[in-house]
Amino acid sequence: MATIAHEIPQVAPEEVNYLNVEHGWKSWLLTTDHKRIAMLYLFSITAMFFVGGLMAVLFRINLLQPEGIFSPETYNRLFSMHGIVMVFLFLVPSIPATLANFLIPIMVGAKDLAFPRVNLLSWYLYIAGAAFTLYAIVRGGVDTGWTFYAPYSSTYSNSYVLAAAMGIFIAGFSSILTGLNFIVTVHKMRAPGMTWGRLPLFVWSNYATGLIQVLGTPVLAITMLLLAFERIAHVGIFDPNIGGDPILFQHLFWFYSHPAVYIMILPGMGVISEIVSCFSKKRIFGYNFVAFSSMAIAVLSFVVWGHHMFVTGESVYTGLAFSFLSFMVAVPSAIKVFNWTATMYKGSISFDTPMLYVFGFIGLFTIGGLTGLHLATLATDVATHGTYFVVAHFHYVMVGGMVMAFLGGLHFWWPKMTGRLYPEGWSKFSALIIFIGFNLTFFPQFILGYLGMPRRYQSYPPEFQALNVLSSAGASILGIGYLIPMIYFVWSWKYGPKAGNNPWGAAGLEWQIQSPPTTFNFDETPIVKEEAYNYGKLEEILG
Amino acid sequence: MWASSFPFADLQLFPVAASKQATQIDQLYWFITAVSAVMTLLIFACLLAFAWKYRRRVQVESTQIEGSTKLELTWSILPFLVMLIMFAWGAQLFFAAQNPPKDAMEIFVTGKQWMWKVQYPNGGSEINALHVPVNQAVKLTMASEDVIHSFSIPVFRVRHDVMPGHYNSLWFTPTKPGHYHLFCTEYCGMEHSGMVGWVDVLNDRDYANWLAGGGTGTAGSLVEQGRSIFMQNGCSTCHLQDQQGRCPVLRGLYNKPVQLADGRTVIADDAYIRESILEPNAKIAAGFQPNIMPVYKGQLTEANVIQLIAYIRSLSPNEPASQQGDQQRPVVIAPTDANSSNSGTSR
Amino acid sequence: MADAVMPVAHEAISPEEEIYLKHHFATPGQQMDADTLGMWTFLITEVLFFGGMFASYAVYRNLYYGAFASTSKYMNVTLGATNTAVLICSSLTMAMAVRSAQLSKRAQLIRYLFLTMIFGTIFLVIKAFEYHDKYVEHLIPGLGFQYEQFPQYEHNAQILFFLYFAMTGMHAIHMIVGLGLLSWLAIEAYRRKYNENYFTPVEMVGLYWHFVDIVWIFLFPLLYLIGDR
């Protein structure tokens, strides 16, 4: 590869694209180009990912010893900040604000999102939210867990709850604005001929995500605000001493935070649909069902929050309803997995790095999803609630699912975003390392969980040590696995070989334009004449 | 020596099942796990088989397939039917876990940052330890002094959150004598991981010995302790016999419906009595005035309240432990001219 | 879905329309559609935002009915009803403003915008008097809350008063934001920005203003009228 790059004559003037059209910090900080904003987001969330990851490494070190290594105070702050940073500042914006921000206008054939300035505002809100949260970390952190359960967070905790809650409140609006922009863009900005039935599935899944962001996040915002009032003025709304109801807090919190886990997985599912189809050179199996299942997930996600509260003493009939609905939401997720698998049937499969991440995703998401059945079932939830079983389950979905999809998507569209290729050998190697490290970290936690080890414990009975040591060892491998792509991506930006417009031979509007794209994406508005994933006419795609 | 410090020497992969529920829940757990494993293997097998069989050779050759509604319906409906089995099975066990048997031994637990206080009917109490006889149903009634805790005994597969301001309960029937962990599993602050203790399931002889040994430093039964708190706090001056209708008489009150001043009816169960001690003005019985009884919030601990309730319960000798309360006609526990309620609300 | 896909760009666009067309839209119609859908989506977000407080209200009103009834004795129905009337009038003038913009009647547009702002200000002044009364009566949670007349409800009433202040306060903040938007519209209208070819901002602020009114239409009966009287 390197030799080929060398042979390209350096004299040709570089073509104008969104990256080199303007220079200087102002051209970035005041940009309204969705692609530049996506890049701003990419840097910001990567920084947050490593902040959150560092905390994880530190508390995994603590758990090497049954009696712990750090003080309980330090440990509690580490796991709380890990959760807050990873959920609100990494996972929620991860794919929507970066890949989708970059790709949705291109995929629907538009010059930009419907509201470019709102898009920039959303990034500034994100930065403001992150600043509040980082302030809380620098001042000593928060020790409430990412769930902020009252009355501990409102009355008892002596940590920087207020700053973190405000950080989440502000970052929440950034998420709302992103979702709003996607919804309007998909409805109103589609190019001529781009019907709903021709939209790429990545657009469908981000549209569904947008609905959740717009409908769920405001409830989290008001909850954080009420919590802040409770903390500042002791108004009593969540204080059982004067009749406040801590369970109300949990209802309001999970009304957002359960749909939020679908904000954290739906866009990843969209990425997988794109990649699996491209590297099988085959149209997606059951397009309508995959698209419809995204919408079904978005709708059902709003009626399952009560399954976080089976053991709080909510009425058994409430529990019954929420348990049933939780099984319902498993169906559309299963449909997707089956369709991805079926897409490979009679395909022509190549094993480039993005495809390796697809294998990782399907494997880990299947395990993560199926262990969700243990938690949706009332009786087994009682046995596993609040243990490492839950921790393992949601890491399989969030990290095994979303982070794998995010990395897969990044490897898939990196040539489009930067115009450069990354070293294939290193990227395959790191994909393997991440897969091994991930399983070593989190699989033992299923076993620990059913043995009864509670989550959020700074110290634990000695018989749990072996599995904890395994988990910590896995975490160190996982950490290295995440660092390698970081290094070669940065390297490839400058030194990587030129990618060309369509290195994967993929269908889709984004592959028919220049890499990196120009500021307005298309020289003239494209007119769409065929459905997505039209790999039957591969020669046409490759031009 | 080396063996004990080498963490893999006592590697354990599956917990002991030491209660009736544990065995039942394990069966369900294995059923779900087995179904999941079959599904996972099926998907993995397909993935690997397709990846091998349809790997790209010299040139791209793929067959475009639109999809199959029949197939989609099959793989939506079949798994859903299997999931319905899980749902029904889980719900059935969960419902059974709501209703302790009538002969369950009642033990009181108070959670507090960061310890568990256990009170026995005989008046004994322990910190972070629970002693129960084997093959005897045990019902725990739990309260919290501060934040949300969650009481969990993994080998029994039981757990329930302990909400401040409420009584929560769970029950189990231990089947295997032994020395087991109990944990707090709702994050409750700095020493959350120190809020742990031991459950000892004793066989009949050991349990008798433990009782005889006064292992818990008995100072009179729970009822007697409650009586002395009742006397010390001056409750007896009003609540034992009618004092010109100033307050309800507590004899025979326990677990009976009470007509409230605002027109509603409540059952005089543990939760109502607790609230009426700590916040007497919250639910005034019909015919009485608010602000006569002092507020005991902050004066009494949850443990004291448990003792008081045990005593008040003893004033109604025929009543079993508080359950869902039989739906009887409301008993107006006030003088007969008490129907003119002071706020006259209608909802 | 009813909405059509993006219209092809070579539809006739008059030069007057083109001034207002942002670069990434093909036609003014598309731009207007996008703005309208964006505003409605934002308002749905707002509904959910207030929804969290309405849910809390429902829970506590149900849990502590007696205390709730006692708090409503402190609500000044006359002032509340006056404010309701004021807001309904402001909605009318706002609707007239939008109409004026659509008809390119600049002077009328500015007049109606000012009228709307005056009604909005009256509302806030009356609200401020109500808040002041509550302050004098020590009914603001967190600022020396006292509830001597119904001591049996002291604690629970505090929660309900907090909800009163949270809900009406959040509504008042939205009113203030609305007044800011109206002032901006008035300035832009003075600068001849709006005419029959371009009036989207007036219409969008109008939607927002009506939404804020509707929130009050729910708050007024829930907080003032359905208590114990």
pLDDT tens-digit map of C185-228: 999 999 998 988 899 999 999 999 999 999 999 999 999 988 76
Query: Does C44 touch chain A if contact means CB atoms closer than 8 Å?
Result: yes
Domain segments of chain C as ranges: 41-225
B179 is a domain residue: yes
C228/B282 touch (CB, cutoff 8 Å), yes or no: no
Which chain C residues touch A184 with a CB distance below 8 Å? 34, 37-38, 41
- Whether B191 and B209 map to the same domain: the answer is yes
Looking at the partner chain, which of C65, C151, C156 has a beta carbon nearest the beta carbon of B262?
Answer: C65
Query: Does B30 touch chain A if contact means CB atoms closer than 8 Å?
Result: no
Which chain A residues touch B164 with a CB distance below 8 Å? 151, 240-241, 246
Give me chain C's average pLDDT, please: 89
Looking at the partner chain, which of A183, A237, A252 has a beta carbon nearest the beta carbon of C159?
Answer: A237
- Whether B215 and B233 map to the same domain: the answer is no
pLDDT in the model for residue B268: 85
Query: Does C6 touch chain A if contact means CB atoms closer than 8 Å?
Result: yes
Looking at the partner chain, which of C6, C46, C159 has a beta carbon nearest the beta carbon of A242?
Answer: C159
Cis upstream peptide for B114 (omega within 30°) = yes
A253 is a domain residue: yes
A3 is a domain residue: no
Rounded to the nearest angstrom, the minimum Cα separation between B180 and chain C is 40
Alpha carbons B60 and B69: distance in angstroms, whole number:
27
Looking at the partner chain, which of B62, B67, B68 has a beta carbon nearest the beta carbon of A281?
Answer: B62
B219 pLDDT tier (thresholds 50, 70, 90): low
CB burial string C45-54: b at 16+ within 10 A, e below? bbebbbbbbb
Give the DSSP H or E segment for B180.
Answer: strand B178-184
* B291 pLDDT higher than 80: no
A285/B90 touch (CB, cutoff 8 Å), yes or no: no
Query: Does C98 touch chain A if contact means CB atoms closer than 8 Å?
Result: no
Nearest chain C alpha carbon to B282: C152
> What DSSP letter does each residue of B117-162 carry, written as one string?
EEE-TTS-EEESEEEEETT--EEEEEEESSS-EEEEEGGGTEEEEE
Q: Give the orientation angle of helix A201-233 with respect to helix A266-280, to 10 degrees.
A: 160
What is the DSSP code (8-state) at residue A402? I
What count of other Cβ atoms lies within 10 Å of the Cβ of residue C128? 11
B51/A313 touch (CB, cutoff 8 Å), yes or no: no
B180 is a domain residue: yes
Starting at the edge strand found earlier in the chain, the sheet holding B168-172 runs: B125-127, B115-119, B105-112, B138-144, B168-172
Least confident of A378-382, B27-31, C12-16: C12-16
Number of cross-chain residue pairs from B and C with Cβ atoms under 8 Å apart? 21
For an interface test with C, which of A104, A122, A184 has the most C Cβ atoms less than 10 Å from its Cβ?
Answer: A184
Looking at the partner chain, which of B281, B291, B345 has a beta carbon nearest the beta carbon of C65?
Answer: B345
Nearest chain B alpha carbon to C70: B343
C-alpha C118, offset from chain centre = 15
pLDDT in the model for residue A414: 96
Nearest chain A alpha carbon to B195: A457
C45/A189 touch (CB, cutoff 8 Å), yes or no: no
pLDDT in the model for residue A73: 93
C66/B345 touch (CB, cutoff 8 Å), yes or no: yes
Query: Does B188 touch chain A if contact means CB atoms closer than 8 Å?
Result: yes
B279/C69 touch (CB, cutoff 8 Å), yes or no: no
Q: In terms of residue numbers, what domain contains B189?
A: 16-38+73-219
Which chain B residues touch C69 with a CB distance below 8 Å? 343, 345
Which chain C residues touch B345 with a CB distance below 8 Å? 65-66, 69, 228
pLDDT tens-digit map of B53-94: 999 887 878 888 888 899 999 999 999 999 999 999 999 999
B51 is a domain residue: no
Query: Does C19 touch chain A if contact means CB atoms closer than 8 Å?
Result: no
Per-residue pLDDT tens digits of chain A, which is 543 residues long = 344 444 444 555 568 999 999 999 999 999 999 999 999 999 999 999 999 999 999 999 999 999 999 999 999 999 999 999 999 999 999 999 999 999 999 999 999 999 999 999 999 999 999 999 999 999 999 999 999 998 999 989 988 999 999 999 999 999 999 999 999 999 999 999 999 999 999 999 999 999 999 999 999 999 999 999 999 988 889 988 888 899 999 999 999 999 999 999 999 999 999 999 999 999 999 999 999 999 999 999 999 999 999 999 888 999 999 999 999 999 999 999 999 999 999 999 999 999 999 999 999 999 999 999 999 999 999 999 999 999 999 999 999 999 999 999 999 999 999 999 999 999 999 999 999 999 999 999 999 999 999 999 999 999 999 999 999 999 999 999 999 999 999 999 999 999 999 999 999 999 999 989 999 999 888 999 888 898 887 666 555
Query: Does A367 touch chain B if contact means CB atoms closer than 8 Å?
Result: yes
Query: Does C58 touch chain B if contact means CB atoms closer than 8 Å?
Result: no
For an interface test with B, which of A316, A362, A377, A455 has the most B Cβ atoms less than 10 Å from its Cβ?
Answer: A377
CB burial string A463-499: b at 16+ within 10 A, e below? bbbbbbbbbbbbbebbbebbebbeebbeebeeebbeb
> Which position has the higher pLDDT, C67 or C171?
C171
Number of cross-chain residue pairs from A and C with Cβ atoms under 8 Å apart? 134
C24/A116 touch (CB, cutoff 8 Å), yes or no: yes
Q: What's the Cα-to-Cα distance from B320 to each of B37, B103, B222, B310, rounded to whole Å?
A: 46, 9, 16, 11
Q: How many residues does chain B have?
A: 347
pLDDT in the model for residue A34: 96
Rounded to the nearest angstrom, the minimum Cα separation between C16 and chain A is 22
Which chain A residues touch B86 with a CB distance below 8 Å? 327, 373, 376-377
* B244 pLDDT higher than 80: no
C155/B284 touch (CB, cutoff 8 Å), yes or no: no
Q: What's the Cα-to-Cα distance from B198 to each of B131, B145, B162, B195, rounded to whole Å?
A: 9, 21, 18, 11
Which chain B residues touch C65 with a CB distance below 8 Å? 262, 345, 347
Number of domains in chain B: 2
B234 pLDDT tier (thresholds 50, 70, 90): confident
Rounded to the nearest angstrom, the minimum Cα separation between A497 and chain C is 32
Percent of chain B scoring above 70 in pLDDT = 86
- Whether B229 and B287 map to the same domain: the answer is yes
- Whether B163 and B187 map to the same domain: the answer is yes
Q: What is the CATH number of the domain that holds A502?
A: 1.20.210.10
B216 pLDDT tier (thresholds 50, 70, 90): low
pLDDT tens-digit map of B140-189: 999 999 999 999 999 999 999 999 988 999 999 999 999 999 999 999 99
B8 pLDDT tier (thresholds 50, 70, 90): low
pLDDT in the model for residue B339: 37
Give the DSSP H or E segment for B265.
Answer: strand B265-267
Query: Does B204 touch chain A if contact means CB atoms closer than 8 Å?
Result: no
Least confident of A198-207, B87-96, B214-223, C172-181: B214-223
B7 pLDDT tier (thresholds 50, 70, 90): low
pLDDT in the model for residue A539: 62
Q: What is the CATH number of the domain that holds B308?
A: 1.10.760.10
Residue A102's nearest CA partner among A519, A530, A542 is A519
Number of domains in chain A: 1
For an interface test with C, which of B262, B345, B346, B347 has the most C Cβ atoms less than 10 Å from its Cβ?
Answer: B345
- Whether B206 and B82 map to the same domain: the answer is yes
- Whether B31 and B173 map to the same domain: the answer is yes
B131's tokens: 């002693």
Type of residue at A509: L
> Which position has the higher pLDDT, B321 or B153?
B153
B8/A466 touch (CB, cutoff 8 Å), yes or no: yes
Least confident of A233-247, B132-146, B260-274: B260-274
Query: Does A194 touch chain C if contact means CB atoms closer than 8 Å?
Result: yes
A380/B159 touch (CB, cutoff 8 Å), yes or no: no
Q: Where are the beta strands (DSSP E) in A87-165?
A: none
* C9 pLDDT higher than 60: no
Cis upstream peptide for A516 (omega within 30°) = yes
Looking at the partner chain, which of A184, A232, A243 has a beta carbon nearest the beta carbon of C34?
Answer: A184
B262/C228 touch (CB, cutoff 8 Å), yes or no: no
For residue B180, the cross-strand partners are B199
* B243 pLDDT higher than 90: no
Q: Among 1.10.3720.10, 1.20.120.80, 1.10.10.10, 3.90.79.10, what is the CATH number of C41-225? A: 1.20.120.80
Query: Does A342 touch chain B if contact means CB atoms closer than 8 Å?
Result: yes
Alpha carbons A245 and A243: distance in angstroms, whole number:
6
B10 is a domain residue: no
Q: What is the mean pLDDT of residues B225-242?
A: 78
Residues of B with CB under 8 A from a CB of C: 262, 279, 281-282, 284, 290-291, 343, 345, 347
Rounded to the nearest angstrom, the minimum Cα separation between C199 and chain B is 47
Q: What is the CATH number of the domain that holds B144?
A: 2.60.40.420
Q: In terms of residue numbers, what domain contains A341?
A: 32-538
CB burial string A336-359: b at 16+ within 10 A, e below? bbbbbbbbbbbbbbeebbbbbbbb
pLDDT in the model for residue C63: 87
Query: Does B46 touch chain A if contact means CB atoms closer than 8 Å?
Result: yes
